[in-house]
Amino acid sequence: MDYEAFLKERKIKVTQGRVIILEIIDNYSQAISADNIYEQCKEKGHNVDLSTVYRSLDLFERKDIIEKFNLGDGKYNYKIKDHKHKHVIECSLCHKEVEIDCPMLPVEELIKNKTGFVLIEHELKVKAVCQECMKHSKENKKK
C-alpha cells in the first residue's frame, strides 16, 4: 500500500511520522495499542514520540481511517477500518434493505482481549422495522 497517496487522498498532510504509524497499524495483524505502535517506531529506528502517536491516532480516527476499540480499564486498541465488510438489515414489514458497517468489530476486540479467542466468522441475526413502517404502525394504533 502506498501510504503517502493514501493520506493525500484523504486530504491529510503527509509527514514521516504519520506514514510510519499508518504502516505499523496496517501491517499488524490485530488491533494495536498506542504503546505498541510507539515501541515499534523505536524498534524501527524512527524518532517518533508518544504524543505524536496519540495525535496521529486522533487524526486518523477523525478522518475515519482507523477504528478505536475501548477495551476497558482505560485501554484502547486501534485498527484500520475495513470498509468492505457490511451487513444488510431488512425491514420485516416492507422488506426494504439497508446496509450497515459491521457492528461486530468492537465485540471481536473485547472477546480477544478477555479470552484470547479470535472470531473467524459471525452472522448477524436481527429483526428490524424501518422508520416508515414504524410510523404507519403508530398511526394505525391511534385510530
Binding-site residues from annotation for Zn(2+): 91, 94, 130, 133
The CB-of-22 to Zn ion minimum distance in angstroms stands at 24
Sequence-separated contacts (24+) of 118-126 with Cβ below 8 Å? 124/87, 126/89
DSSP helix, strand, coil percent of the chain (3-state; round to 5): 45, 20, 35
What residue type is 21 in one-letter code?
Answer: I
The CB-of-120 to Zn ion minimum distance in angstroms stands at 12
All three cell numbers of 125: 441475526
Nearest to Zn ion of 43, 131 (CB atom): 131
Nearest to Zn ion of 47, 92 (CB atom): 92
Nearest to Zn ion of 115, 131 (CB atom): 131
